[in-house]
Chain A
Amino acid sequence: MSRNFFLFAAMAGLYALTGFLLSWNVSLSILNTALLATIMALGVNMQWGYAGLFNTGVMGFVALGGLAVVLTSAEPTPDAWAAGGPGIVFGLLLGAATIAAAIFAWKRMAAGRLRTLVLLAILIGGFFLFRAVFDPAVTAVEANNPATYGNLGGLGLPSLLAWPVGGLFAALAAWAIGKTALGLRSDYLAIATLGIAEIITSVLRNEDWLDRGVKNVLKLPRPWPVPYEVNLQQNPAFLDFTTRWELDPVATSTIFVKLCYTSLFAAVLLIAIWLTERALKSPWGRMMRAIRDNEVAAEAMGKDVTRRHLQVFILGSALIGIAGAMMTSMDGQLTPGTYNPLRYTFLIWVMVIVGGSGNNWGTVLGGLLIGWLWLIVESIGPAIMGGVTAAMADGPLKQHLVDSAPHMRLLSMGVILLLVLRFSPRGLIPEK
């Protein structure tokens, strides 16, 4: 216990040190990002730590959460809806109906050549029907004022509401993936999730009607209690507060906004920990771990292993989706070009492994620690590299080394992961 307390205190010390030495602004923004990554890591920990499921598609679920923010809380664009909204919705419904019809035919018809032919006819016919309805509608929507819109827009609902929607999107995607890949070899889930993550992000990058693609959706509203700095700087109560404590109103307003986010995220994190801890300590959690440790024995005891796996896979992915939505609503914009598997999938994995897979508190520690390390190197990495190379003569080699500072992060993360796996495979705070 005292060891864990020391570890958390040391971690808090790192953030405090960053605040004193660099600035509280940097420290808080690192903390916010790390909190989000920690929630994602909790989702991965449910999948890997509880059940031994290997999900390499974290990035995809994060991106789906981001999409949920755009679709729920971006301002509505009635012109785009009038131009092609119904056509797009009808087209998507046709596509879904085609797949449903294909599954129905597969399930209901007797195996044989006839079934194959009917299936092919449904799929090919459905595809062309879908394109015939969908394509003109997309062209119409994208032609609507492409410089500012060109997309369908959202529903204009509060940003907080987008968070559960993000979880829902991620859960639906997880259901579809889990249905196909679970119950097979463990590696297949890893490869299937790796693929779906790449496909989700390429959809976000290329479907302008949905989220403006690489043109990014900007000016997403902030979640409910978080104020805008500009409004804060004109708020008499706030100005009163800053003059009494002799603070700079501009700097204080940015810190205040960040603190609002910190408390929101910390609240979500605490709820998530409470729920996951409760789940882990319930009969359900013991069953999950029993399945993880010996699938054959669990199956012999009458547990439906594939179904339980599907359940925990969906729950974990939903948590990741919620965190993804929170991230996009904090950024205030969706930038599909920035979703990078190393940052959003594998870094989260490093957090879980370093912290201690199977232990939620370990995951939280790992998340905050690795998150701090990853982001602090972004702030001070070039300075360190500059210091290291200061003695060298100016030239292409020095320039190359200074430019390569960001890649050192990948290298160091890999080395940390390998070292922890080798020498402390149960992580900083091992599972009980």
Chain B
Amino acid sequence: MDVLNALITFLNFVAVPGLAYGSQLALGALGVTLIYGILRFSNFAHGDTMAFGTAITILLTWWFQSHGISFGVLPTALLALPFAIAATAGVVLLTDRVVYRFYRRQKAAPSILVIVSLGVMFVMNGIVRLVIGVDEQNFADGGRFLISAGDFKAATSLAEGLAIKSTQAITVITAVVVVALLFWFLQKTRTGKSMRAFSDNEDLALLSGINPDRVVQVTWIIAAALATIAGVLYGLDKSFRPFTYYQLLLPIFAAAIVGGLGNPLGAIAGGFVIAFSEVMVTYAWKKVATYVLPESLAPDSLLQLLSTDYKLAVSFVILIIVLLFAPTGIFKGKSI
């Protein structure tokens, strides 16, 4: 019986990675949910928008590195991030102008807009692969660990170490700052308020003189910023590969739906629900169990519920459960 070591193992392999991954998913789901709330369609191109933003960030990072510019202990990518956000926002605004605006004026059905977003996804996917290729890219530099396992063991003289990668810390801090800024913007500023009004009731918002084009533009810019930040944080924490980003679409949508599509608070909660379920279901609990259980009961097997190859299945099952029992999500979303 060794509760302390069990707790540290749990923190090291479940809580910390889950928290970081949850923050990334929450930022992604926020983008999806904002687009859904204001433009009223599920944007299938969001995963590839994330990939695009990240690809630009990686290119800028390489360029900075080749000029010897660095950000000290922080990854150079953070320095490149604002420029990449601007570039992504520009591209997204251009697609809105060239592609989506036509259907918005037509008041096209949501499923038509979804197909249109599929087309945009194809194009973005192609561009990303043209620009940076299909291979895996690691672009994290700067300090590796905030706390390394060895230091932690030496400081506490416990058998288990707790490692916190600097990218995990950066992810969580950035996510908190971004979410705080977003909620301040939505609740306090005039533009944010008009966005919420537009989301609640489009006709009433138009009647009270809100400029719909401006609302849509601001929404796209915020969505592009959220997508780029989420993509870069995910890429720093793990690695960048265009296909992985396409696959992130499922957990991100699952997160947005679990929380209630169109509800920003729900998107954050959904992100953490999905992330923690995924990590907990695919983690091998043997080590934790060995510490907690008496020696005679120590398990032989890995105590892993599902192999990590099936982590997508976790988001899918949660999605199905929510669709069956609470189609509007935990926090009441917009529609069933």
Identify the A interface with B (CB < 8 A): 52, 54, 56, 127, 180-181, 184-188, 190-192, 194-196, 198-199, 202-203, 205-206, 341-342, 346, 349, 353, 400, 403-404, 407-415, 417-418, 421-422, 425
Contacts and interface: CB of A to CB of B under 8 A. Distances in A.
B319 A187 contact: no
A185 B336 contact: yes
Q: Would you list the 4 A-B pairs with minimal beta carbon distance, nearest first? A: A414-B122, A411-B126, A414-B123, A410-B126
Contact of B119 (A184, A187, A190, A418): A418
B121 A414 contact: yes
5 contacts: A191-B254, A198-B316, A206-B307, A414-B119, A421-B116
B312 A198 contact: yes
A279 B165 CA distance: 60
Interface in B236-254: 246-247, 249-250, 253-254
B177 interface: no
A206 B122 CA distance: 27
Given A54-B111, A184-B327, A407-B129, A413 B122 contact: yes
A137 to B, nearest CB: 15
B146 interface: no
Contacts of A194: 249-250, 253
A421 B41 contact: no
B264 to A, nearest CB: 18
Contacts of B305: 127
Interface in B77-131: 99, 102, 110-112, 114-116, 118-127, 129-130
Contact of B312 (A181, A186, A202): A202
Given A195-B319, A202-B310, A206-B309, A414 B336 contact: no
Contact of A202 (B44, B123, B309): B309
A127 B304 CA distance: 12
B320 interface: yes
Given A54-B111, A205-B309, A414-B120, 13 more contacts: A52-B111, A181-B320, A185-B327, A187-B110, A191-B253, A192-B319, A196-B316, A407-B130, A409-B126, A411-B123, A411-B126, A414-B119, A418-B119
Given A191-B319, A192-B320, A418-B99, A353 B115 contact: yes
Contacts of A195: 250, 254, 312, 315-316, 319
A406 to B, nearest CB: 8
Nearest to B113: A187
Given A191-B319, A410-B126, A418-B120, A180 B312 contact: no
Nearest to A420: B119
B155 interface: no
B249 A410 contact: no
Nearest to A135: B301
B69 interface: no
Contact of B125 (A54, A56, A400, A410): A410
Q: Is the interface of B mostly helix, strand, loop or mixed?
A: helix
Contacts of A127: 305
Nearest to A54: B111
B207 interface: no
Given A54-B114, A192-B320, A349-B118, A411 B127 contact: yes
Interface of B: 41-42, 44, 99, 102, 110-112, 114-116, 118-127, 129-130, 133-134, 246-247, 249-250, 253-254, 257, 305, 307, 309-310, 312-313, 315-316, 319-320, 323-324, 327, 335-336
Contacts of B116: 418, 421
B42 to A, nearest CB: 4
Contacts of A185: 110, 327, 335-336
A190 B114 contact: yes
Contacts of B253: 191, 194
B250 A414 contact: no
Contact of B122 (A181, A192, A203, A410): A410
Contacts of B313: 199, 202
Nearest to A198: B312
B114 A414 contact: no
B72 to A, nearest CB: 31
Contact of A191 (B42, B130, B336): B42
A342 B126 CA distance: 11
Nearest to A187: B42
Which of B120, B249, B305, B323 is most buried by chain A, counting CB atoms within 10 A of its CB? Answer: B323
A392 B335 CA distance: 55
B122 A411 contact: yes
Which of B130, B133, B316 is most buried by chain A, counting CB atoms within 10 A of its CB? Answer: B130
Nearest to A401: B130
Nearest to A203: B310
A190 B42 contact: yes
A258 B207 CA distance: 65
Contacts of B130: 404, 407-408, 411
B122 A342 contact: yes
A118 B41 CA distance: 38
Nearest to A400: B133
Contacts of B307: 206
B118 A346 contact: yes
A203 B306 CA distance: 12
Contacts of B335: 185
